[in-house]
Amino acid sequence: MIGTGYVGLVSGACFADLGNDVICVDRDIKKINNLKKGIIPVYEPGLEELVIKNCKNGKLSFSSLLRDSVKRSDIIFICVGTPTKKNSSAADLSQVYNVAKEIRNSILKFKIIITKSTVPLTTGDEIEKIISNKKTKKLFSVVSNPEFLREGEAIRDFTFPDRIIIGTNDKKSKKILRNLYAPLISKGAKYINTSRRSAELIKYSSNAFLATKITFINEIANLCEKSGVNIEDISIGMGLDVRIGSRFLRAGPSYGGSCLPKDTKAIINTADKFKTNLSIIKSVIKSNEDRPLLLLKRINTLLKGKFRKKKICFLGVTFKANTDDMRYSPCLKMIPSLLKKGAIINYYDPTGFKKELSKYKNISFSKNIKSAIYKADLIIIHTEWNDFKSINFKSLVKNKNFTIFDLRNIYSPLKMKQLNIKYFAIGK
């Protein structure tokens, strides 16, 4: 596994647990040294135990030596980052292509080179061109095997995937990969073989569709707020239609994280190259980017335009619960704007202090829920951790005139009314 981040480390540990000999490689030497000591670089439930168990039984090891690890491996998964390019909407493929260049010099016997990173249509073709020379010509096959795991549920998603997509026409690779995934197929995972380009596009289309679903229900929530309708009735009523499905149909803040924001942009960029206008996805991106501003307007109304010295507490700051990932978290747009208006912010997150927020003044981290909300004028429930689901606000908040803005619709407005708490939610 090349790249030991969320995807590489989880996949590596899970493949080792299935009985394979796995080397997880990363250019970040500190990360590798920590992993050798059992220190896990990301928050992912169950991962630490899985890593330690498989290191102990000799199935999983860590290395910063890419070429040596490639030489010793039959199957190479590229799991490096594919962020958005600076000043562009395209995916920055420099990490992927750098890895491909390094692999080129380590091919002495047949190897399958797989992109597990999310890479745009035709990237496999490019990797093939980079690696191919007189010596390597018949000694490798480039396959697309996109990853669909979700942070916070990654081990379960890897072990019980909805589907496994293998994009290749190469017979030998097909056979080897079917064997590799046999333990998951026997547990019910659907195994689909496509062309390499199809596999690349399946991943982007899936993420763009999920982003569309979230954005769709968020916009319907806006309508609910103005028309006295409860968005949760709409989500349930729509979701029961099997053609629609209930998942990703819960209104909330904008979507964030390391995948949907960058992948929606990248698919548009790819489509542009093929002179195709993906107008729906364009409007999804715009709507999602505008959403934090819309939420800020609601906060403005809740505070009657008075932000100066107002104590605002964020419960959860990551892009969703059960992860420590801050990439494109909605609060990264909201917090600076609230600070600029004169608010004083403190936050609590079960995954701890966030360096992404440390550059601002008038913001502090609280070590527990109690101290976070104690002095708050406004409590913003930003993520849906279980820890936030049964807080006794009445007894814990000192200021008896506090307001709650629940961006995840965790609490019952009726119960809050009975408790005499000023409570506002999404789409209600």
Binding site for ligand NAD (CB under 6 A): 2-8, 25-28, 31, 66, 79-82, 95, 98-99, 117-118, 147, 149, 151, 258-259
Instruction: Give me the least distance between CB of 268 and ligand NAD, in Å please.
Output: 16
CA distance 345 to 375: 11
Does residue 371 contact residue 397 with C-beta atoms inside 8 Å?
no
Residue written as tokens 């690349």? 200
- Of 147 and 349, the one with the shorter C-beta distance to ligand NAD is 147
Give me the catalytic one of 55, 259, 313, 331: 259
Task: Give Cα separations from 268 to 80, 220, 274 (angstroms).
Answer: 21, 24, 10
Would you tell me how many other CB atoms lie within 10 Å of the CB of residue 136? 16
DSSP 8-state class, residue 420: T
Instruction: Give me the least distance between CB of 81 and ligand NAD, in Å please.
Output: 4
Does residue 67 contact residue 102 with C-beta atoms inside 8 Å?
yes
Instruction: Give me the least distance between CB of 105 and ligand NAD, in Å please.
Output: 13
Burial class (CB in 10 A: 0-12, 13-18, 19+), 143: buried
Side chain identity at 396, as an amino acid letter? L
- Of 165 and 339, the one with the shorter C-beta distance to ligand NAD is 165
C-alpha torsion angle, residues 42, 215, 88, 277 (rounded to 10): 140
DSSP 8-state class, residue 345: E
- Of 54 and 95, the one with the shorter C-beta distance to ligand NAD is 95
Instruction: Give me the least distance between CB of 151 and ligand NAD, in Å please.
Output: 4
CA distance 325 to 163: 25
- Of 151 and 200, the one with the shorter C-beta distance to ligand NAD is 151
> Which single residue brings its beta carbon nearest to ligand NAD?
5
- Of 3 and 161, the one with the shorter C-beta distance to ligand NAD is 3
Side chain identity at 87, as an amino acid letter? N
- Of 17 and 147, the one with the shorter C-beta distance to ligand NAD is 147
Instruction: Give me the least distance between CB of 43 and ligand NAD, in Å please.
Output: 12
Does residue 427 contact residue 232 with C-beta atoms inside 8 Å?
yes
DSSP 8-state class, residue 366: -
Distance from first CA to last CA of the chain, Å, rounded? 46
- Of 80 and 303, the one with the shorter C-beta distance to ligand NAD is 80
Burial class (CB in 10 A: 0-12, 13-18, 19+), 8: buried
**Which of 221, 216, 219, 247 lies closest to 233, judged by CA?**
221
CA distance 162 to 47: 20
Clarify whether 55 is annotated catalytic: no
- Of 225 and 384, the one with the shorter C-beta distance to ligand NAD is 384
3-class secondary structure, 101: helix
Instruction: Give me the least distance between CB of 26 and ligand NAD, in Å please.
Output: 4
Which backbone phi and psi does 95 adopt, to 5 degrees?
A: -65, -40
The answer to whether the Cα torsion of 128, 129, 131, 136 is positive or negative is positive
Catalytic residues: 259
